Amino acid sequence: MRIVVGGILHERWTLNECLDALFDLDTRGHEVVYAWVVDGSCERKLPGTVVRVDGLEGLHYRRQNETKDTLRRIYERLACLRNILAQTALSLDGEALFSVDSDIVVPRSTLLDLVDADYPWVAALVQNAVGSNRIWNVFHLKRENGLISHFMCTGIGAQGDRWPEKRLWTYDPRDSDETQDLVAGAVCLYGRPLLLKVRWCSTPRGSQEDIGFGLNALDFGYHAGYVPIVCKHLTIGGTNG
């Protein structure tokens, strides 16, 4: 498989550790090319295709509490950057895009594990809140109203082992109904057919661009799955969960 590995980059303290992990990925049996969308400055020399974006309108991402209108402008800008990355991957004839946010460090086996899942939209895991085991980058999304709800994607079981088993999950492992309404962001493998149909966007209520992508994907009959590989989220505690 021809896989495009990359992300949106700008100069930040997390960048070197993130990139070192991406360049150390186990890629056995696959053709890997790199693509990057550089938003502003990035001092590190990058292999592959580099798209430099200067002067893009809108507000840069920040974690502070903001108004709905400000959030919409922030996520519209991020959506534009993600769409540039996706289009670049398609132009490179990628059969899939492995996109990783620049504050995430992935284990070496992550790419192979996600490819082996053989699923059009599959994520590894990062925690998105310090001290909570319920706020992850994979969550439920209601198509009819755009509301999200979180669940425990992984944890430590009664015997001290990580739960659930390491395989593809397309629903909450504790859901006996196996409801398939998951969406994901931050560290995902996206298949080419999905990228040809779906784009990132914000929503009128100022939701993240990944939620806009999720709503569009659900309209086309796609939903996310995940493999419970826990990555290091450097700006959220910097731990492996």
62 is a domain residue:
yes
SS3 79: helix
142 is a domain residue:
yes
What is the number of structural domains in the chain?
Answer: 1
241 is a domain residue:
no
239 is a domain residue:
no
**Looking at residues 76-82, what average pLDDT do you find?**
94
Write the CB contacts of 172 (distance below 8 Å, at least 6 apart in sequence): 140, 151, 179, 182
Higher pLDDT among residues 59 and 153, named by residue = 153
240 is a domain residue:
no
Provide the domain limits for residue 203.
2-233
Residue 203: per-residue pLDDT: 82
What are the C-alpha distances in Å from 220 to residues 81, 86, 207?
22, 17, 20
Higher pLDDT among residues 54 and 96, named by residue = 96
Distance CA 226, CA 97 (A): 15
Instruction: Enter the pTM of the model.
Output: 0.93
